[in-house]
Chain A
Amino acid sequence: MGGVARALLRRGVQAVLVAVLVSGLCFTLVRLLPGDQAMRVAEGRYGYDRVTAASADAVRAELGLDRPAVEQFLAWVGRLAQGDLGVSLVTGERVVVEIAYQLGHTLLLSLAALSLALLAGPALGLFAGLRPGGVLDQAGMVGAAALRALPVFALGIGLMLVFGVTLGWLPVAGFHATENLVLPALALGLGLAAASARVARDATVAAVNAPFFGFALLRGLTRAQAVRQHVPRNAAVPVLAYLGVNLALLVEGVVVVESLFGWPGIGHALSHAISARDVPMLQGTALSLGLIFVALNAFTDVAILAADPRRRG
C-alpha cells in the first residue's frame, strides 16, 4: 500500500472515531449542562421575551424530552445509523438541509483564509529568509508578532473600521456578494498567514544554510537557481506541518468571525445550537467541524507526501 493510501486510510479511521466521539459527547454534555432543556429550546424558538413555563411544557411534550436519556440516546443512534441527523428542535428544519447551506459558507470562508495563509505567508517568509536580519525580515517579524497577538475579534473590528468605514472599499458585514467574503477571510487568515510566514522564514534560513544548498552552488548553479530548485520544496514541509497542527485555530476562529461578520456558517450555527440546547443541530454542526478538521489534516498529509518524496516509502 502506498504512502498516500496509508495516510488516507488512517484519516478515514480517524473520521469514524471523530464522528462517534463528537456525537456521543454532544448528546451527553448537553444533558450535563445546567438548565432545563425544554426552556432553552422554547427560548430559541420564541425569543426570551415570550418564553414561559407553558411554552416549555408544550416543547417538552412535543419533543419527548421527558423520556429517559437512554431511550432518547438509543433512538438517536438508530436514526444516525440510517444516516438521519434528525430535525432542528428550534427551526423544525432537517439538520442535513440546514448544514448543507451553512457548510458551503464555512468551507468558502475557510478556503479563502487558508489560501491567504498558504500563498501570502510562505512567499513573504521565503523572501525574509533569504536575507535574514534585513528590513523585510525585521518588518515581517514585527508584523507577524502583532497579527498573532491580536485576538480575531479585535482584528475583525479593526478591518471593518479601516476598509469598511474609513476607506469605504468593502462592506462591513453580510454575505450576499463576493466582496462580503474579503474582510472575514482576512480576519481569519491573517493570523495563520503571519505564523506560516515565520515558519517559512526559518525553514528558508535552514535550507539556505544546509549542505545540499552549498553543494548546489558548488555544482555551478547560480544562487537564484539554487533557491528555485531547493528552497521552496524544503520550506513547504514545515509550513504544511505547522498549518496542519494549527487548523484547530481556524475552526475556532470560524465561530468568532462568523458571528462578528454576520456570516451564516457552521460556527455561528454551533454557538446558537449550544445556547438553545438544540441537540440535533449541535451534533450535526460539531460533527461537520470535526470532519472538516480531519479532511484538512488528510489534505495536509497528502500535500506533505507530495512535497517530500522521502516520506513516501
Chain B
Amino acid sequence: MIRRTALSLFALALWPGMTLAQQPLRVVAPFHVDSLEPSRDGFNFTRMGVAETLVGADDGGLPVPQLASGWTLSEDRLTWRMTLRAGAVFHDGTPVTAEAVAASLLRARAQPGPLANAPLTSIAADGPGVVELRTSTPFTPLLAFLAESSSQILAPASWDEAGAVRRLIATGPYRLAGFQPPFRFEVERFEGWNGGPPPAIARAVYESVARGETRALMAESGRADLVFTLDPAGTDRLRRSPRVEVRVMPIPRTQTLKLNAGLPFFADVRARQAVSLAIDREGIARGILRSPAAAATQLFPPTLAEWHVPGLASLRRDPAEARRLLAEAGWTPGAGGILAREGRPFRFTLRTFSTRPELPVVAASIQESLREVGIDMQVAVVVSSEIPAGHRDGTLEAGLMARNFSLVPDPIGTLLADFGPRGGDWGAMGWNSPELIEILAALGRSTDPAERAALRGRASTILQAELPVIPVVWYDHRVAISRRLANVSVDPLELSYRIETIRWAE
C-alpha cells in the first residue's frame, strides 16, 4: 500500500515535466509566412529547422557543413564539388540524391535571389552523392550564396509542373505539420534526420505577430517561449520579468545614410564627411536604441570580425570640424543660418520608412544635428521601396535605412550589390571607386587568407574615407527567452532559431 502510494506520488511529481515535454515550443517573430516559395518566405522555414541548405554558417559567417558534408574547389577555382551527407532523406522518406539537389538548385537559380546573381554556368549531379557547380570566373563567395535561405534544398515532388511550390518536402530536423498563412505554421520532429543528435523538442509552433508591443507582452505573459526582434522600449520592462531572460547581441546590420553623390551637394567628399561629423551617433545609440555601444565607428560592426578593422580612425562627432570642411568646400552662411553656395541653399530631402519604427526618430535627430551646422534636411517618411525606386529614377537625394550584411552570410554578397560600377539600390549612388570594384572582384577570386584579409581591410578603409554611405548605428538583436528552456543559443546572423539544440529545463 505504502509502495503503491509512493509510486503514485512519484508519478504525480513527474507529471508537470511530462506535460511540458508534450507542449509545443512557441516561437514568435514579426515575419509573415505568406507562401511556401523559398525565394519569398523560405527564411522562415530554414530558421525553424524545416529546410536545410547545402552549406551553413557559423557565428562569424564562415561556411560549415549542412546538407553537404564537405566540398572541394578545383585548382582553376571554377568547379565546386559538393559531397552530400550520407544517408540523408527528404521528409517524404525518399533519399536525397545528387540529381534532386541539382534540380532544386536550378529551380532556386531561376527565382529572384542571390543565386541568380552568381556567375554559375552549370549545376549537375556528378555521381550519386556529389553535386558539381561550375562558375564562369573564380567566385569564392559561392559557399555563402549557397547558405542563403532561397537556396534551400527541396525534393522535386515539392513543386508542380509550373514550378510553384505546393508542398514543402525538405531535409531539416523538423518537418512541416501545419501551415496557416500568413500567421502560423507548426513543425514536428523528423525522425529520419541524420545531421546531428535528435532534437529534444518534439513539436514547435511559429507565430507571426507584427506589433512589437504585442510580442513583448506575449513573452512577459509566459505564453511564448522564444520571442525575436523586440523593440528597445519593451526590453527594459521584460528584463524585470521573472519568466524571461532577455538577450541582446550585436548583429551584422548597420543603419546607414545613403547620399546621392551625383548631386552638387554631395559630390564633394568634404560635404559627405561634414554630414558624418555632424551626426550625434552616441546620442542616437543611447537615447533611441538604448544601447550605448551601438554608435557606429565604421560600416561593419565588430560582430563581422573579418571586416571590422579595429585600427581604423573612428567616425566621430565634431560640428566645428564639419563647419570648417563645409566652408572649405565653398559653403557660406545664408538666410536663416542655412549654408549657401552660388545662391543655392544647402537643402535636401531624406527619405526613410517606418517599417523599422526607430528610423523616423533617428532621421529627426539627424535633421536637428545637421541644422546646427547649417544644413536644412527635410524628412519624408515613405515606404521602403521608395529608396530603391528613387535610386533607379535618380530622384533620391538621401535615404536612411537599416542594411543587413548577413542576407548572404559573407558580406561580400551585399557589398557586390551595393558598391558596383553603378552603385546599388541600397548602397552607393552617383559614386563608384574603380579600386573598390577591383578589390571586390579580387575577393571573389582569392582563396589565400592573408590576401583576403588585406583586401577586406583596404575595402573598409576606402568606404570609411569616401563615405558613399554614412554609418550611423549598429543594430542589436533582442530576444526574449522563456526560463522554461535550456541550451538556447542565438544565431547572430539570424539564419536559424536553433530549436533543434534547445531542450526543456529540468
Instruction: Find out whether the CB atom of B383 lies under 8 angstroms from the CB atom of A40.
Output: yes
Q: Does A46 sit at the interface, judged by CB under 8 A?
A: yes
Beta-carbon contacts under 8 Å, B355-381 to A: 355
Q: Contacts A54-B112, A172-B214: A264 and B223 contacting too (C-beta < 8 A)?
A: no
As a 0/1 sequence over residues 49 to 75 of chain A, the CB contacts with chain B under 8 angstroms (1 = contact) are 111111110100000000000000000
Q: Does A165 sit at the interface, judged by CB under 8 A?
A: yes
As a 0/1 sequence over residues 174 to 210 of chain B, the CB contacts with chain A under 8 angstroms (1 = contact) are 0000001111100000000000000000000101111
Chain A hits for B223, CB < 8 A: 164, 171-172, 174
Instruction: Find out whether the CB atom of B207 lies under 8 angstroms from the CB atom of A35.
Output: no
Residue of B164, B217, B222 ringed by the most chain A CB atoms within 10 A: B217
- Cα distance, A233 to B207, chains bound together (Å): 46
* Complex partner residue of A53 from B180, B209, B210, B388, CB under 8 angstroms: B388
Q: Does A142 sit at the interface, judged by CB under 8 A?
A: no
As a 0/1 sequence over residues 27 to 40 of chain B, the CB contacts with chain A under 8 angstroms (1 = contact) are 00001101101011
* Complex partner residue of A92 from B32, B164, B182, CB under 8 angstroms: B164
B40 closest partner in A (C-beta)? A45
As a 0/1 sequence over residues 162 to 199 of chain A, the CB contacts with chain B under 8 angstroms (1 = contact) are 00110010011111100000000000000000000000
Question: What's the minimum C-beta distance from A63 to chain B, rounded to whole angstroms?
Answer: 14
Instruction: Find out whether the CB atom of B112 lies under 8 angstroms from the CB atom of A58.
Output: yes
A residues neighboring B (CB under 8 Å): 34-36, 39-40, 42-43, 45-56, 58, 90-93, 157, 160-161, 164-165, 168, 171-176, 259-262, 264, 272, 275
Chain A hits for B164, CB < 8 A: 92
Instruction: Find out whether the CB atom of A168 lies under 8 angstroms from the CB atom of B222.
Output: yes
Q: Contacts A92-B164, A93-B35: A175 and B386 contacting too (C-beta < 8 A)?
A: no
Chain A hits for B126, CB < 8 A: none
Q: Contacts A165-B221, A175-B183: A36 and B214 contacting too (C-beta < 8 A)?
A: no
Chain B hits for A174, CB < 8 A: 184, 207, 218, 223
Chain B hits for A56, CB < 8 A: 385, 388-389, 392
Chain B hits for A262, CB < 8 A: 183, 207-211, 214
6 sampled A-B residue pairs with Cβ under 8 A: A35-B385, A43-B383, A46-B40, A160-B214, A264-B184, A272-B32
Q: Does B213 sit at the interface, judged by CB under 8 A?
A: yes
Chain B hits for A52, CB < 8 A: 388, 417, 425-426
Instruction: Find out whether the CB atom of B183 lies under 8 angstroms from the CB atom of A36.
Output: no
Q: Does B11 sit at the interface, judged by CB under 8 A?
A: no
Q: Does B353 sit at the interface, judged by CB under 8 A?
A: yes
Q: Does B407 sit at the interface, judged by CB under 8 A?
A: yes
Instruction: Find out whether the CB atom of B404 lies under 8 angstroms from the CB atom of A40.
Output: no
* Complex partner residue of B211 from A90, A92, A260, A272, CB under 8 angstroms: A260
A91 closest partner in B (C-beta)? B34
Q: Does B329 sit at the interface, judged by CB under 8 A?
A: no
Chain A hits for B217, CB < 8 A: 157, 160-161, 164-165, 172-173
